[in-house]
A and B are shown apart, each in its own frame.
Chain A
């Protein structure tokens, strides 16, 4: 793919006086751009930006001094694909014991006792955060394993619930209402959001995640 084609994949949308919303064709290129933005910020070659907020197929740059100027510069960017092994790996211990395990197994066409091995066989990546502090939307599940949300949301999903919806896996850092399919439990979810740490969030955008069952990676 040529550089010119690559740059046209960035669609910059205005978002008020101080922000830009950069739209990309898919989650993968969004991750590539996020990695490039973080790399440039660390290298000091990105103009000052207060917030870099990835979404499913966008990256929001907020608190930008001169959005029009940055938008012009972005048009010339060559955004390389992010290396597979880019980013720290976090291991999350889980038990696959959620109330929707059987339903997910049925949709996957396997036995309920096989969900653990299948789900924990992939390496995930935090695409973006939101919903609640410490809640990361993890991508990495192959398309044929995507499951819809539940028809009726639960009024209470317990803290530590490992859940699936569409392309995403997530662990609930605290009890909230939720409509995702619950397939497991992180026994101690406190590390997902711990204000006593310098960096309270365990799962930050770009972090890679492995789910580990008791006794190994299943």
Chain B
């Protein structure tokens, strides 16, 4: 018998995430997976889990869960208050949660997404090789609701990562290095200059599909419709309003708006933690 978690408070949006689904983009299946992948991996390593064991990804307001047996958890990613049955517990480090006690990961004090990892990992049913919730196409477990019960895997015997963990702080300013293309030539030279010189801000309409921005519109030199084409993670798509959208893990696999550049994948973890209003600068890699 393995342990289970009951969801006591689901928060604004809490999903199960691992490293996502690969190799199915040609079928219209997004890759999905934890937006702040380094935070997921670090939380898992602190517990001796495989680095890509399934975890919970919260959004701004955290979540609370109650295990039916004693488990060890780590809450990391965006900093937040952590409590066990109301008593303060450490953030970013292993916490023992007795059977029946409530572990609460509170509202973030910075950043956007906290990660709640449990020793043994979440054992939700995999779909196409991944346990991740894909909000675009609805694959994987549904976003958590109060009362949901999540099965847990068996904790590994391997030693947890020792010592203090280096959690990066959420960005005060989000710098996104990009390479131009594949459709940079659809934009005016002025638009290319604007892209890498203007300051944008994170829009409140951002989600797991894309980081939307507010700022000066990028004007196209080539009018007309772009026939649907494949889209990569980090693609900076420019819809008709001219405001760049950075594609995150639940992005559609094909799209019909031109992509002016592609942000380096390693910079996307910071994008996952950039709160609404954070200044965004695109730089040429």
A: residues with CB less than 8 A from B are 13-19, 21, 50-60, 62-63, 128-135, 137, 195, 200-201, 204-205
B252 within 8 A of A: yes
A193 closest partner in B (C-beta): B27
B127 closest partner in A (C-beta): A195
Q: How large is the interface on B (under 10, 10 to 19, 20 to 34, 35 or more residues)?
A: 20 to 34
CB distance from A209 to the nearest CB of B (A): 15
Q: Which of B10-18, B36-44, B61-69, B227-235 contacts A (4 or more CB under 8 A)?
A: B227-235
Query: B254 to A53, Cβ gap below 8 A?
Result: yes
CB distance from A50 to the nearest CB of B (A): 6
Determine the distance from Cα of A137 to Cα of B262 in the docked complex, in whole angstroms. 26
Query: B28 to A134, Cβ gap below 8 A?
Result: yes
Given contacts A55-B228, A130-B254, whether A15 and B181 have CB atoms under 8 Å apart is: yes
Contact residues in A for B181 (Cβ distance below 8 Å): 13-16, 21
Query: B23 to A19, Cβ gap below 8 A?
Result: no
CB distance from B141 to the nearest CB of A (A): 13
Contact residues in B for A19 (Cβ distance below 8 Å): 232, 262
A199 closest partner in B (C-beta): B27
B137 within 8 A of A: yes
Query: A58 to B264, Cβ gap below 8 A?
Result: no
Determine the distance from Cα of A102 to Cα of B161 in the docked complex, in whole angstroms. 67
- The majority secondary structure among interface residues of chain A is strand
B128 within 8 A of A: yes
Query: A56 to B262, Cβ gap below 8 A?
Result: no
Query: B26 to A132, Cβ gap below 8 A?
Result: no
Contact residues in A for B254 (Cβ distance below 8 Å): 53, 55, 128-131
B281 within 8 A of A: no
Contact residues in B for A137 (Cβ distance below 8 Å): 228
B101 within 8 A of A: no
Interface centre among B127, B128, B254 (most CB of A within 10 A): B254
B285 closest partner in A (C-beta): A17
Given contacts A14-B182, A133-B137, whether A62 and B232 have CB atoms under 8 Å apart is: yes
A206 closest partner in B (C-beta): B26
Contact residues in B for A54 (Cβ distance below 8 Å): 26, 230
B: residues with CB less than 8 A from A are 22-23, 25-29, 127-128, 137, 139, 178-183, 227-232, 234-235, 252-254, 259, 262-265
- Contact partner of B25 (CB less than 8 A), chosen from A16, A51, A195, is A51
Query: A204 to B227, Cβ gap below 8 A?
Result: no
Contact residues in A for B137 (Cβ distance below 8 Å): 132-133
Known A53-B254, A55-B229, A57-B229; 18 more pairs at CB < 8 Å: A15-B181, A15-B262, A16-B178, A16-B181, A16-B263, A17-B262, A21-B229, A51-B26, A51-B230, A55-B228, A56-B227, A60-B229, A60-B231, A62-B25, A129-B26, A131-B28, A133-B139, A205-B26
Determine the distance from Cα of A51 to Cα of B28 in the docked complex, in whole angstroms. 11
Contact residues in A for B127 (Cβ distance below 8 Å): 195
Determine the distance from Cα of A130 to Cα of B265 in the docked complex, in whole angstroms. 22
Contact residues in A for B22 (Cβ distance below 8 Å): 50-51, 63
- Contact partner of A201 (CB less than 8 A), chosen from B27, B230, B234, B264, is B27
Determine the distance from Cα of A55 to Cα of B137 in the docked complex, in whole angstroms. 18
Query: B182 to A53, Cβ gap below 8 A?
Result: no
Give the top 9 A-B pairs by smallest Cβ distance, nearest first: A60-B230, A16-B262, A56-B227, A53-B230, A55-B229, A130-B254, A13-B182, A14-B181, A21-B182
Determine the distance from Cα of A54 to Cα of B227 in the docked complex, in whole angstroms. 11
Given contacts A15-B259, A19-B262, whether A135 and B28 have CB atoms under 8 Å apart is: yes
Determine the distance from Cα of A202 to Cα of B266 in the docked complex, in whole angstroms. 35
Given contacts A53-B25, A54-B26, whether A17 and B230 have CB atoms under 8 Å apart is: no
Contact residues in B for A130 (Cβ distance below 8 Å): 28, 228, 252-254
Contact residues in A for B25 (Cβ distance below 8 Å): 51, 53, 60, 62
Given contacts A19-B262, A21-B182, whether A53 and B235 have CB atoms under 8 Å apart is: no
CB distance from B232 to the nearest CB of A (A): 5
- Contact partner of B227 (CB less than 8 A), chosen from A21, A52, A57, is A57
Determine the distance from Cα of A13 to Cα of B229 in the docked complex, in whole angstroms. 12
Determine the distance from Cα of A17 to Cα of B231 in the docked complex, in whole angstroms. 13
